[in-house]
Amino acid sequence: MHIPFLLNKRSGSGNALGRTTSGCVAHNHDGERGALVIAFALALPVILGGLALAVDMGHSYSVKTELQAAADAAALAAAQELKLDDNGDVTAAAEAGAAGNGVDLGAATLTVNHPPTAGSRAGNNDYIEVVITEPAPSYFSAALGVGEKDIASRAVAGLHASGAACVVLLNNGDEKALHASGKAEAHLTNCSVYVNSDDDKAAIAEGDSEFVATDILVAGDHYGGGFTPEPTTDVDQVSDPMDYLTKPSYSGCNHTDYYVENTTTIYPGVYCNGILIKGNANITMAPGEYIIKGGGFRVTDDSQVQGDGVMIFNTGSGSYDWKPLEIATTKTVDLSAPDSGAYQGVLIYEDADRAEQGEINIIKGNGFMGSLSGIVYLPKTKLLVHNNTQLVNQNLMIVADMLEINDDAILSIAVDDTTDLFPIGLQHARLVE
């Protein structure tokens, strides 16, 4: 049956189903636009609030980064004060370090804790904790009802031997102040080398030798390809780090022309015309100060020596002429310095007023293995490590006029952060937290 199409009598142009005469659906564009405007109006505060919070958070992060840098600087500055008598003024040093890094001490709160009150170093007097707190910037957040918050940064620093110079060569103008040759090897871990000589060949590593350290700093220039890393040249000369030492007081002679060739213990005292350890001797040196009044300290043949808390002062007087040290044994020498007192860390102390410039202190031996812990101070003379010598040391510092390593000798030095051997004046501040 044919059903006629029913026209909408009121429009004549559409039908009861809301279609136009062309058959398309009619849209209410004005209504949609209105709905979008309302939705956007409702969402706008949320969008603006989110943007405002993002801006404040971004700026807070930037301030946090700057505040951390200031806390680090403040802790390092305060830790340096630990070198001074009565620990100096750690608070004033921290404030200066923070202010120098842009902190407004009128607006910020700076707290110095010695020892730290938190973290892995809590209660340890060798470290200083600095906490800097200041209000977070709030350009937009406050208008949205977000309360003010503080930004805090914390740093902990202390003094460490690691990374400091473990070889300082004081000669200021000669060639080969530092000299490695043959198949000699030097491996210095966590420590640097300073060569004061301004000669064009102040430091030489030639042949098949290797000389490896954290840094190698030379006032003059270097020659040879055995250095790792490449030395930094034309640096400023450094002062003698041991010039704070005062000579021990002594008188008379406890022993004269002393030698030993058996198994025994020897004791501190004044040894006129030196100590000679020879033959198959097996010697223990009791802790204390050994004054070598002329004649030198010599270990030869198949002898061996050990001792903790030992300080050897090599001098001369009157008819007892100064002589250099010589360790030339096939066995072992294992000595460590005092860990406290006036000679903390000082194992060998050469009297610069008695020593003869250019003389050589020798460590050598066929198969010799030794370990020296502490400071070997030879301000007027050279230290020569040669032959088939293995000198493997934990926490050794060499301060000498010159240093030479040759033949198949091996010199190994590793400096430990926790060592008490090096005097506090030779340590440097380092961040640990």
pLDDT per residue over 236-245, tens digit each?
Answer: 998 898 988 9
Question: Does 229 sit behind a cis peptide bond, omega within 30 degrees of 0 on the bond before it?
Answer: yes
- Which residue bears the tokens 């020892």? 115
Single-letter code of the amino acid located at 15: N
Q: How many Cβ atoms from other residues are within 10 Å of residue 265's Cβ? A: 10
CB atoms within 10 A of CB 311: 25
The closest of 362, 388, 386 to 376, measured between CA atoms, is 362
Residue type for position 93:
A
The two three-digit tokens of residue 217, written as one number: 């700093």
Q: pLDDT per position in the chain (433 positions), as tens? A: 444 433 344 444 444 444 444 444 445 555 566 666 566 556 556 655 555 555 556 556 677 788 889 899 999 888 888 877 566 688 999 999 999 998 888 888 999 999 999 998 899 888 999 999 988 766 555 555 555 678 888 999 987 765 578 899 999 999 999 999 999 999 999 888 999 999 999 999 999 999 999 999 999 999 999 999 999 999 999 889 898 899 999 999 999 999 999 999 999 999 999 999 999 999 999 999 999 999 999 999 999 999 999 999 999 988 999 999 999 988 999 999 998 899 989 999 999 999 988 899 999 876 778 899 999 999 999 999 988 888 888 889 999 999 999 989 999 998 876 676 666 666 777 888 8
| pTM listed for this prediction | 0.71
pLDDT of residue 238: 86
178: helix, strand or coil: strand
Give CA–CA dist 370/25, Å, rounded: 100
Label residue 365 exposed, middle or buried (CB < 10 Å: 0-12, 13-18, 19+).
buried
Q: How far, CA to CA in Å, does 6 sit from each of 9, 24, 160, 366?
A: 9, 17, 100, 122
Beta pairing partners, 429: 159
pLDDT at residue number 6: 36
CA dihedral 373, 375, 376, 377 (to 10 degrees): -170
Helices 29-80 and 90-99: crossing angle, nearest 10°? Answer: 140
What phi and psi, each to the nearest 5 degrees, are found at residue 65? -60, -45
**CA–CA separation, 160 vs 318, rounded Å?**
42
What pLDDT was estimated at residue 159? 78
Q: Where does residue 263 fall: left (phi above 0), alpha (psi -120 to 50 degrees), or beta otherwise?
A: beta
Based on its alpha-carbon atoms, the radius of gyration of the chain, rounded to whole angstroms, reads 37
d(CA 280, CA 263): 8
Q: Is the dihedral of CA 290, 294, 295, 296 positive or negative?
A: positive
Q: Which residues pair with 393 in a beta bridge?
A: 413
The model's pLDDT over 349-366, given as tens digits with 9 standing for 90+, comes to 999 999 988 899 999 876
**What's the CA dihedral at 241, 247, 253, 257 to 10 degrees?**
20
Q: Which helix (H) or strand (E) holds 71?
A: helix 29-80
Pairing label, strands 288-293, 310-315 = parallel
Distance separating the N- and C-terminal Cα atoms of the chain: 94
Other CB atoms within 10 A of residue 392 CB: 15
What is the bridge-based pairing of β-strands 428-431 and 150-160? Answer: antiparallel
Closest CA to 249 of 270, 220, 228, 273: 270
> What does the pLDDT read at residue 138?
61
d(CA 433, CA 431): 6
